[in-house]
Amino acid sequence: MTYLIKPKLHHPGLPANARGFTRRDYEGKISTLCAGCGHDSISAAIIQACWEMDIEPHRVAKLSGIGCSSKTPDYFLGNSHGFNTVHGRMPSVLTGANLANRSLLYLGVSGDGDSASIGLGQFAHLMRRGVNMVYMLENNGVYGLTKGQFSATADKGSASKKGLANADSPIDTVSLALLMGATFVARSFSGDKGQLVPIIKAAIGHTGAAFIDVVSPCVAFNNHSGSTKSYDYVRAHNEAVNRVDFIQSQDEITADYAPGASVDVPQHDGTVIRLRKAHPEYDPTDKVAAMNYIQQHQALGEVVTGLLYLDSDASDLHRNLNTVQAPLNSLTERELCPGPAMLDKINASLR
């Protein structure tokens, strides 16, 4: 961390996006996390993704719970809406906000403690319901704010900084999200922005519950030789099944790949997710096969990354509930009190 405010000066050649903003305009306050924290890289990846997608910062709501990861929304998108909820309660507050105003882009930021321990139930139900959001789980396997105890995602047998082995079984949040019905599931690594940024962009483009588990080493407590969530371990065991290109408009589709090497998955809104395959046999649209593959490779000690599952025909909570398109705060008395004739009609339908 640093006490200084990041200088306002920027590179003279810093480009602006279609909204006229530079990448620096998507930054937030200076981070107070430890130097070298993976979470800061994830914040930078979110900034990059939002800048590249020409997102208007004031159309974004970022919600988080409690923990190191949940502090990070202060460090990106300084001009967006934010809500720091009670520990583990980000999913329910976000669900409520989303129901009230579906026109915003919802970005939930959480950690392994916030999502896999105290908030596990909330996490599961949000995935079930298909709330239209991007759920970023910044996963470091330890409770950093309370001096590095094992979290619920720490691998069995991995060691603490003092050398004690973890006896408990880990919760695999990716498998859990798949089981619970998430329609976009990915895993990435904070130290690989080349992979992470396009995944965030694709998740933002996805309609439905998009879950990204980002392995994010804790430099202070979990970046040692006995850890399975250290920079070195993840780099050595990273099995990327594919690389994602998120293509926003039809005319951008220019790059040619060898047949079979890539597959284009069109989305509802006209965007395209192009998957450049690293493992030819991996099919991210087959949920059961994906779950099998992840489990098999996890048993080998590998960290499977990439876009693991994608349901391009996903539905979301609003469609399921058949809610009104307009944000609730824009509804006037005329829509909310449609008059006795409508009331009679409703009553009649219930008789």
Choose between 44 and 118: whose C-beta lies nearer to another protein.
44
Strand order in the sheet with 209-215: 81-84, 60-64, 105-111, 133-139, 209-215, 184-189, 303-310, 238-240
Residue 16 near another protein by CB under 8 A: no
CB of 270 to another protein, least distance (A): 30
Q: Which strands make up the sheet holding 242-247, listed edge to edge?
A: 242-247, 272-277, 262-266
Residue by residue, DSSP assigns 200-242 as HHHHHH-SSEEEEEEE---TTTS-STT-SSSHHHHHHHEEE-E
Residue 235 as a binder of another protein (CB under 8 A): the answer is yes
Minimum distance between the CB of residue 7 and another protein, rounded to whole angstroms?
A: 4
Q: Does 147 bind another protein (CB under 8 A)?
A: no
Please report how close the Cβ of residue 27 comes to another protein at its closest, in angstroms.
10
Q: Stretches 7-15, 53-61, 122-130, 284-292: which one binds another protein (CB under 8 A)?
A: 7-15
Tokens standing for residue 221: 């407590």
Minimum CB distance to another protein smaller for 50 or for 219: 219
Residues 173-212 that bind another protein (CB under 8 A): 190-191, 193
Give the number of other CB atoms < 10 A from CB of residue 122: 22
Rg of the chain on CA atoms, in Å: 21
Is position 78 an interface residue for another protein (rule: CB under 8 A)? no
Give dist(CA 52, CA 50) in Å, integer: 6
Which window, 28-36, 127-135, 301-309, 317-325, contacts another protein (CB under 8 A)?
A: 28-36
Helix H or strand E segment including 57: none
Which tokens sit at 348? 């009649």
Report how far residue 326's alpha carbon sits from residue 107's, in angstroms, rounded to the nearest whole number: 20
Closest to another protein by CB, 10 or 268: 10
Among 80, 158, 160, 223, binds another protein (CB under 8 A): 223
> CB under 8 A: which stretch of 38-46, 262-270, 304-312, 339-347 binds another protein?
38-46
- Per CB under 8 A, residues contacting another protein are 1-4, 6-14, 24, 34-38, 40-41, 43-44, 190-191, 193, 217, 219, 223, 231-232, 235
